[in-house]
Amino acid sequence: MKQKFYNIFRNLYIIVFLACFTNGYADGKYAGASMELGVGARPLALGGAAGAMTGGAELFHYNPSALAYVEKPVISLMYAPTFESFSDPLAHYNYAGIAYPLPGGGTIAFNWTRFSVDDIPIYPDPKGASFAERNSNPELQMDGEALGYFEDVEDVYYISFAKALKKNIPVGWMYDELPIEIPFGMNFKLVRQKLYQSKASGMGIDIGAMIKVNFGTLFDKKYLGDFAVGLSSSDITQTPIIWDTKTEDRIRRSVLLGLHYQQLLGFSNAQIKFYWSRYRKYDRNVFYGAEFLIKGLAVRVGKNAYGITSGAGLYFWKFVVDYAFVTNQLDDVHRISCSINLR
């Protein structure tokens, strides 16, 4: 009996979750919400403060200009069970992509994310005229058995391009010319969604840029490190999601502003990095992150809109493996991602 009621509760939880999260509270306000789950364990461990972050092909999701710093062809993957247990999640959210530096400068990338919920139950209509009637008559009560099952699947395909411009800026007679880097990038994306017997699709554009400078050169202090400021906007055309039922949702435009400071330390090539980002879509949120790296090991901590995040990374040979523990609105989740350099 307890197992039957647990199954009913779990199935109802899935239905409510889909209604509120996946399909936008029925008015389209939160269309494409699964894309806000983020990509890559490293930026997620740092609270999602990735507006000016560099060093990973998965950063296309936050600021496509970060791809300009991909130096070798790389494959990136992420396994992200979402909500409930790690081994038996309610939903699956996964990512795969490849980034390839082009001759003469620039980087092109192809990425794919999928959010899916399987085995969503279909229940018969309630019998009787009211809840009180069903509660008093056992013959009218539901037995918890589903008539069938369906699935929700949301795929997003990205084609990205990024390139960095390098300029020497005169800063006065006391200093040499200041070298700065200005990377810029763009995502073209195709959104495909299937929910029960309905299908939808839409196309959108994300853009981003950064300015990166070395504080040591700017202030003539060799011990100072690199500073970057980044700005990106996702779904700049408010991506329309058009259903075959002749209805339309729109993904709201979002803006991510970020700062990044990287400081080399005086031992074992260690370094520490600090991140700050402000995100605006439905509300305004501020994210923070800090990362310490030494001899192929990274330790990370951050803060997103819902609480503290943390994680670690391991760098060896051509592989990078990252882990993140992320505080979310509905449930805390684990993220595992890896990158493989092809050269």
> pLDDT tens string for the chain (343 positions)?
444 444 444 444 444 444 444 444 444 566 777 788 889 999 999 999 999 999 889 999 999 999 999 999 999 999 887 766 666 677 888 999 999 999 888 999 999 999 988 777 776 777 766 767 667 777 666 666 767 777 788 999 999 999 999 888 776 655 567 789 999 999 999 999 988 888 999 999 999 999 999 888 777 777 888 999 999 999 999 999 999 888 888 899 999 999 999 999 988 889 999 999 999 988 899 999 999 999 899 999 999 999 999 999 999 989 999 999 998 776 778 899 999 999 8
For residue 181, what pLDDT is reported?
92
> Where in the chain does DSSP place strands (E)?
74-84, 89-101, 107-122, 148-169, 178-195, 198-214, 226-234, 240-243, 248-250, 254-264, 271-280, 284-294, 297-303, 308-316, 319-326, 333-341
Amino acid symbol at 319: F
Comparing CA positions, the residue from 160, 289, 308 lying closest to residue 234 is 160
Query: How far, rounded to the nearest angstrom, does the alpha carbon of residue 322 sit from its chain's CA centroid?
Result: 14
For residue 176, what pLDDT is reported?
67
Q: Which residue reads 């791809």 in tokens? A: 67
Query: How far, rounded to the nearest angstrom, does the alpha carbon of residue 315 sit from its chain's CA centroid?
Result: 21
Residue 214 within any structural domain of the chain: yes
For residue 203, what pLDDT is reported?
95
Structural domain for 128, as ranges: 2-259
Residue 278 within any structural domain of the chain: no
Comparing CA positions, the residue from 286, 289, 336 lying closest to residue 310 is 289
Burial of 279 (0-12, 13-18, 19+ CB in 10 A): buried
Give the HSE-up count for residue 137: Cα atoms under 13 Å, Cβ half-sphere. 11
Give CA–CA dist 320/293, Å, rounded: 13
Residue 300 within any structural domain of the chain: no
For residue 297, what pLDDT is reported?
96
Burial of 80 (0-12, 13-18, 19+ CB in 10 A): buried
Residue 49 within any structural domain of the chain: yes
Give the HSE-up count for residue 340: Cα atoms under 13 Å, Cβ half-sphere. 7
For residue 6, what pLDDT is reported?
41
Q: Which residue reads 């069938």 in tokens? A: 148
For residue 80, what pLDDT is reported?
82
For residue 313, what pLDDT is reported?
96
Residue 26 within any structural domain of the chain: yes
Residue 75 within any structural domain of the chain: yes
For residue 33, what pLDDT is reported?
75
Structure tokens given for 5: 């009621």
How many separate domains does the chain show?
1
